[in-house]
Amino acid sequence: NTMPFWVLVGGHFLLSERITTRKLTGLVLAFCGLAAVFFDGIVAGNNATLTGDLLSLGAGILWALTSIVIKRSKLAETSAEKLLLYQLAGAAVVGALVMPFAGPPIREIAALPTLALLFQSFYIVAFTYVLWFWLLTRYPAAGLSSFAFLSPVFGVLCGAVLLDEPLTVRIFLALGLIAAGLIIVNRTARRQPAP
């Protein structure tokens, strides 16, 4: 969830998308909303998750680099479907390299994990990745990436709707902060009238 910050910094230096006080304020506000979602885990301060946190930080940096490379290269002129195929080919190579370290193969196939895999394959990869790449070729990377802050909130809301998990006022406060941050980041700067 740090990806929007890395895109903002990388975009400043590599994409001519300047860091402005408005953009930085909006991202910080949205990130505060995200912190509100995970408040209990932050307060607990569990050091056992440091490795996972560092891996997540690395994933955010790599996701930002992917967006910046696409915006900065000829890939920005490539179709979203072709960009997805490039990503899938790269993932297949990496998957083949790490497969020997993954542990024993799956012996049983159950319905719920299979449905979850199909959902990930068809909706997340085939639809939302293509949509993301299409949007990335048309809009500023920093503004677009700020919408990633909504993912955890919608995860919590779906947990409440589908799994009867409790909703707290803090979730709605977080959603409000994130929405305000997104509006600030993506609001068009007002043009000054000519003298």
What is the reported pLDDT for 47?
58
**Contact in structure between 31 and 184 (CB atoms under 8 Å):** no
Specify the higher pLDDT residue, 46 or 85.
85
> Which of the residue ranges 18-32, 146-160, 177-191 would you say has the lowest mean pLDDT?
177-191
Specify the higher pLDDT residue, 195 or 56.
56
Domain boundaries, the chain: 1-77+141-195, 79-136
> How large is the average pLDDT for residues 76-82?
86
What's the chain look like in SS3?
CCHHHHHHHHHHHHCCCCCCHHHHHHHHHHHHHHHHHCHHHHHHCCHHHHHHHHHHHHHHHHHHHHHHHHHHCHHHHCCHHHHHHHHHHHHHHHHHHHHHHCCCCCCCCCHHHHHHHHHHHHHHHHHHHHHHHHHHCCCCHHHHHHHHHHHHHHHHHHHHHHHCCCCCHHHHHHHHHHHHHHHHHHCCCCCCCCC
What is the reported pLDDT for 18?
82
Q: Residues 6 or more apart from 159 whose CB is under 8 A from it?
A: 165
Please tell me whether the overall predicted TM-score, pTM, comes out greater than 0.95 for this model.
no
At 93, the pLDDT band (50, 70, 90 cuts) reads very high
Phi (first) and psi of residue 108, to 5 degrees: -120, 145
**Contact in structure between 170 and 36 (CB atoms under 8 Å):** yes
What is the reported pLDDT for 194?
47
> How large is the average pLDDT for residues 100-116?
84
